[in-house]
Amino acid sequence: MENIKELIGELSSLDTASMYLEDFLLTWDKSLDQLKGVFITADILRAMRRNNISSRLYNSGLGVSLFRDKSTRTRFSFAGACNLLGLQVQDLDEGKSQISHGEIVRETANMISFMAEVIGIRDDMYIGKGHTYMVEVARAVSQGNAEVVLEERPTVVNLQCDIDHPTQSMADALHLINYFGGIDKLKGKKIAMTWAYSPSYGKPLSVPQGVIGLMTRLGMEVALAHPPGYEVMPEVEELARKNARESGPGGLFSRSESLAAAFKDADIVYPKSWAPFAAMEERTELYGRGDSEGIAALEEKLLAQNAQHQDWECTEELMKTTAGGKALYMHCLPADISGVSCKKGEVAATVFDRYRRELYIEAGYKPYIIAAMIYLSKVKNPAAKLSEQVEKSLKRKL
């Protein structure tokens, strides 16, 4: 309980006021104080649940989820976050809605928002589409609220788009903060965000982009590594360079085509497959034209391209070259585990199994991160409200 009160004190010292009634779409749109506010609020909510204290804000209301890609962790994390705050989740199935009959975004956004407090969207499949769609939804509900169609404007939370995956990268960062003992302890720590071989294709760019876009804000040494042709969005890479320059001593960003160089002396490794930016652009264009033959040909080409880099695997030998041979292994999950989920994949089974508990802990921060994003958007003075809830100590579980 004393720890919770300490955290609330830290939260009260941060400038998070401008998050009130605002969306959470990209981490780089938020100030450092705002990012720290999310981390601390997530830790407070987590501690409250562990101490059986209710953090319920609502007795009724909806959290609307829209997933345009398959999801396990993020889908359940959003549901858990909404439930933690007292909201009921309703999933928008586009195949069963009027969207399939051509309903426009402005209509859909308003029709689903009559009693909604938050809309969580995952739209990560097509370059230039996902973030744009989220902005369009945000604009539509703002207009609906201004015209008094909507009593309240629901907050839009990015559950993964084509550019960023803020709930994942923020959960990853909170895992590092607690693992190393504080946000200040991350300064100068080396994290290797590397491509890794996968027998599948088309995995989004938003995880590596989210990681390099956020960890450079926190003053870390970020080493991005991938084979030739697997570049991320150039504007995100440039953003990471700018963040590193502005983060002060310890902050660095580098890009190489060497897995070994990235792993050497790294404190954290994050080997993860993704599709080349150029290929994702091509795929978006093919889908837009409805070119099924072109899509099949592109998939075949990309699988063959992946197969040329099967040596890009997180092995025991590579792990021995990290800082003290004990770097923290991270992954957003599910990982392609060699000899377990596939013949050859991103990570050796022995490495994955050794870090399995830490990986589950990493994933477990996401519901609290999402809940914190919603909380800071819905409460004008979050420190005061959290303090009131802790003082009342209403039981979460009776």
Per residue in 340-355, pLDDT tens?
999 999 999 999 999 9
Q: Answer whether residue 355 is part of any domain.
A: yes
**Pair 380, 252 in one domain:** no
User: Contact at 8 Å (CB) between 233 and 130?
Assistant: no
Of 52, 272, 31, the C-alpha closest to 172 is 272
CATH of the domain at 180: 3.40.50.1370
- Provide, rounded to the nearest whole percent, the portion of the chain with pLDDT above 90: 93
- Cα 380 to Cα 1, 119, 250, 319, 385: the distances in Å are 23, 19, 35, 46, 9
Identify the band that residue 202 occupies on the pLDDT scale cut at 50, 70 and 90.
confident
**Pair 353, 247 in one domain:** yes
Q: In what order do the strands lie in the sheet with 62-67?
A: 88-91, 62-67, 116-123, 155-161
Structure tokens, 29: 């749109």
**Residue 338 clears pLDDT 80, i.e. is over it:** yes
Structure tokens, 358: 């830490």
**Pair 154, 252 in one domain:** no
Q: Answer whether residue 28 is part of any domain.
A: yes
Cβ within 8 Å of residue 292, ≥6 positions away:
none
Q: Residue 125: its pLDDT value, please?
A: 87
User: Contact at 8 Å (CB) between 50 and 339?
Assistant: no
Q: Answer whether residue 206 is part of any domain.
A: yes
**Residue 98 clears pLDDT 70, i.e. is over it:** no
Which residue(s) pair with 116 in the sheet? 62
Strand ranges (DSSP E) for the chain?
Answer: 62-67, 88-91, 116-123, 155-161, 190-194, 221-225, 252-256, 268-271, 328-329, 337-338, 347-348
How far is the C-alpha of 51 from the C-alpha of 224, rounded, in Å? 39
**Pair 139, 260 in one domain:** no
**Pair 260, 305 in one domain:** yes
Q: Residue 100: its pLDDT value, please?
A: 52
**Pair 137, 7 in one domain:** yes
**Pair 143, 292 in one domain:** no
**Pair 9, 129 in one domain:** yes
How far is the C-alpha of 311 from the C-alpha of 151, rounded, in Å? 56
Q: Answer whether residue 397 is part of any domain.
A: no
Residues 37-52 have a mean pLDDT of: 98
Q: Answer whether residue 312 is part of any domain.
A: yes
**Pair 116, 15 in one domain:** yes
Domain that holds residue 182: 168-363
Structure tokens, 197: 């071989």
**Pair 370, 284 in one domain:** no
Identify the band that residue 201 occupies on the pLDDT scale cut at 50, 70 and 90.
confident
Domain count, the chain: 2
What is the 8-class DSSP label of residue 172?
H
Which residue(s) pair with 255 in the sheet? 224
Rounded to the nearest angstrom, the gap between the alpha carbon of residue 361 and the centroid of all alpha carbons in its chain is 15
Q: Answer whether residue 385 is part of any domain.
A: yes
Q: Residue 139: its pLDDT value, please?
A: 97
**Residue bearing tokens 């004190």:** 9
* Average pLDDT for the chain: 95
Identify the band that residue 244 occupies on the pLDDT scale cut at 50, 70 and 90.
very high
**Pair 236, 330 in one domain:** yes
How far is the C-alpha of 312 from the C-alpha of 22, rounded, in Å? 40
Residues 317-340 have a mean pLDDT of: 98
Within a 10 A sphere around the Cβ of 277, how many other Cβ atoms? 19
**DSSP letters along 42-84, please?**
HHHHHHHHHTTB-----SS-EEEEEESS--SHHHHHHHHHHHH
Q: Answer whether residue 398 is part of any domain.
A: no
Q: Residue 69: its pLDDT value, please?
A: 87
**Pair 185, 225 in one domain:** yes
